[in-house]
Amino acid sequence: MQVYEAPLRDMKFVLHELHNDDGFGNLEALEEFTPDLVDAVLEEAAKVAQEVLLPLNRSGDIEGCTVENGGVRTPKGFKEAYDLFREGGWCALASDPEWGGQGLPEQVNKMTEEMICSANLSFSLYPGLTHGGTTAMEAYASDELKQAYLPKMVSGEWSGTMCLTEAHCGTDLGMLRTKAVPQDDGSYKLTGGKIFISAGEHDLTENIIHLVLARMPDAPAGVKGISLFLVPKYLPKDDGTPGEANGVSVAAIEHKMGLKASATCQLNFDDSVGWLVGKPNKGLEAMFKMMNTERVSVGIQGLGVGEAAYQSAVWYAKERVQGRSLSGVKNPDGPADPIIVHPDVRRMLMTMRAYNEGCRALSGWVSRALDAEKFSTDPEVKQRAEDFIALMTPVVKAVFTDLGFETANLGVQCYGGHGYIAESGVEQYVRDARIAMIYEGTNGIQALDLVGRKLPAHMGRYLRSFFHPVSQFIEANKEHETFGKMIEGLEKAFGALQLSTATIAEKGMKDPEEAAAAATEYTRLLGLVAMGYCFAKAALLAQAKLAEGSEETAFYKAKITTARFYFDRILPQATAAFLAIKSGKASMMELEADAF
């Protein structure tokens, strides 16, 4: 059964307690957003997720989207849910108040994103893509375009898309063929086909604003000849309301493994009127602006689905009775004990729990940097925040989505045979979570971004924004009375990460394939160390709270246990990653293509 209650206590722990000393400034610095207000927002978001979006998750999966009369019909209830969502102001949560947004801190926004993704990943894409679009527009669009489009997009009245991929090119956008021909009035006419366009067409909003990568006639070949254009589905009339159709049509919607309530469209642009966003031939830069925003959000999708899978598995493990506990009967009045008593079921549940809490803690840290980047007035803090975001974006995207998928699979495994049956609702999490490892740049591409761009940038400066706090923490707590062994484990993994970094830098300088061959394992290693650091901090903090006499003993004790489990059972993966990195590229690359 799809069971979900927003993990508010853990969210508040991450928001208000865990990262207060990270030097990115406190929520309080965002003046009006007091902890009480923030908590109230989270509680309201939880209601929307649980009461409006969750009930549509499985029905949406079953019904899917359909093409009807050239438009796309979303599943029953989605339109009503979207209207409620929009009217509640949830589309505009983190957007700039200048355009009607509520300007909430990213820390709060990302937590609500997690809830929405837990409740209904397919739904999350409709407002999610719009948010990516408005981010790019805020940074690059002309004032005229901003005025005409941003208020309606921010409010959610109109939605947005990102039209990058074509059938023959995804990762390698340099090959794209969509044409943009300049017109006398300063507009362009776009012609070409795009695929995999999330929310490319649907019945939730009265207009859809496409941000389209295309090539001008005289553009240089490759990635240096790509520009970004805004192309509305309907051209706004003088009064700003949608007017005539703009030659954008749906060729088909994709039949996907999951995410079925999200309309993934093949779009054709046929002399569609568009306007340049940003400078000519600098489309990739603007695209990366929205892409980077989206990448953190896609990481959160992994976490969101993972949390839902975890809660559904916990529910089942308490409900389903099968066999008896090895340590003596636990449910003497029943025919068997609930399966949560069995160590191997515990192993799965604790793994899921540790992944989720680890990802949430790290996401909270990254979100604080997102806020500091936006709002800090201290240039040094701002710079450090930017560095940290640049470093962590590929890690959050790749590691969270890998772990989210693993968690979804463990959820199915907890259900046994019943998990393989659609009615259980948990196999949907596997199918839905699978896409997050692929879109917005495959996880392999994230890893290459990390080792190829982020590590070497500014002589390794990005990495320092992460290495400094971790090494300081280890130094300060090495001899910790209770958690000394845990800190030792962190130190060892951190040492492996430092050594791996040096190895990659050294080998990669001579041979970039060496760096690329280590990329995926390095990304995982960095993620593991970052989550380990968060867990160690959390354990120390929880212990201090208990020592202070906090009444929330169950919460803080569970936090310590989960941290211990992470160090016992998850962090050892770091050793495997380190050994793999050390082995180099030889055996990976030496086979001739013909030998495969």
Which residues are known catalytic residues? 440
Closest CA to 260 of 435, 95, 33: 435
Between 133 and 338, name the residue whose CB sits nearer to a second copy.
Answer: 338
Considering the complex, what minimum distance in angstroms separates the CB of residue 314 from a second copy? 5
d(CA 439, CA 536) in angstroms, rounded, equals 32
Closest CA to 124 of 302, 255, 4, 265: 302
Considering the complex, what minimum distance in angstroms separates the CB of residue 222 from a second copy? 10
Residue 44 CA, chain-centre distance (Å), reads 21
Cβ-Cβ contacts under 8 Å for 428 (sequence gap 6 or more) = 2, 57, 58, 61, 258, 422
Considering the complex, what minimum distance in angstroms separates the CB of residue 3 from a second copy? 12
Residues 318/320/323/329 CA torsion (nearest 10 deg): 40
d(CA 489, CA 565) in angstroms, rounded, equals 12
CA torsion sign for 20, 22, 28, 32 is negative
Output Rg (C-alpha) for the chain, integer angstroms: 24
Considering the complex, what minimum distance in angstroms separates the CB of residue 379 from a second copy? 36
Between 134 and 407, name the residue whose CB sits nearer to a second copy.
Answer: 407
Q: How far is CA 519 from CA 453, 547, 577, 579, in A?
A: 11, 42, 10, 13
Q: How many CB atoms sit inside 10 A of residue 40's CB?
A: 11
Considering the complex, what minimum distance in angstroms separates the CB of residue 582 from a second copy? 9
Q: Give the CA angle between residues 21, 531, 372 to the nearest 5°.
A: 40
Between 495 and 584, name the residue whose CB sits nearer to a second copy.
Answer: 584
Considering the complex, what minimum distance in angstroms separates the CB of residue 362 from a second copy? 20
CA torsion sign for 496, 302, 166, 276 is negative
Phi/psi for 340 (5° steps) reads -65, -15
Considering the complex, what minimum distance in angstroms separates the CB of residue 457 from a second copy? 18
Q: Are 398 and 446 in contact (CB under 8 A)?
A: yes
Closest CA to 157 of 218, 234, 223, 228: 234
Between 108 and 526, name the residue whose CB sits nearer to a second copy.
Answer: 526
Cβ-Cβ contacts under 8 Å for 341 (sequence gap 6 or more) = 324, 325, 327, 330
Considering the complex, what minimum distance in angstroms separates the CB of residue 351 from a second copy? 9
Considering the complex, what minimum distance in angstroms separates the CB of residue 454 from a second copy? 16
Element (H, E) at 387: helix 379-415
d(CA 453, CA 460) in angstroms, rounded, equals 10
Considering the complex, what minimum distance in angstroms separates the CB of residue 193 from a second copy? 15
Strands 158-163 and 71-73: unpaired
Between 70 and 255, name the residue whose CB sits nearer to a second copy.
Answer: 255
d(CA 161, CA 131) in angstroms, rounded, equals 9
Between 22 and 294, name the residue whose CB sits nearer to a second copy.
Answer: 294
What DSSP letter does each residue of 291-304 carry, written as one string? HHHHHHHHHHHHHH
Q: Are 337 and 147 in contact (CB under 8 A)?
A: no
Between 245 and 257, name the residue whose CB sits nearer to a second copy.
Answer: 257
CA torsion sign for 564, 566, 570, 573 is negative
Between 112 and 503, name the residue whose CB sits nearer to a second copy.
Answer: 503
Q: Give the number of residues written for the chain.
A: 596
CA count, 13 A, side-chain hemisphere, 346: 9
Between 42 and 348, name the residue whose CB sits nearer to a second copy.
Answer: 348
What DSSP letter does each residue of 85-125 carry, written as one string? HHHTTGGGTTS-GGGT-----HHHHHHHHHHHHHH-HHHHH
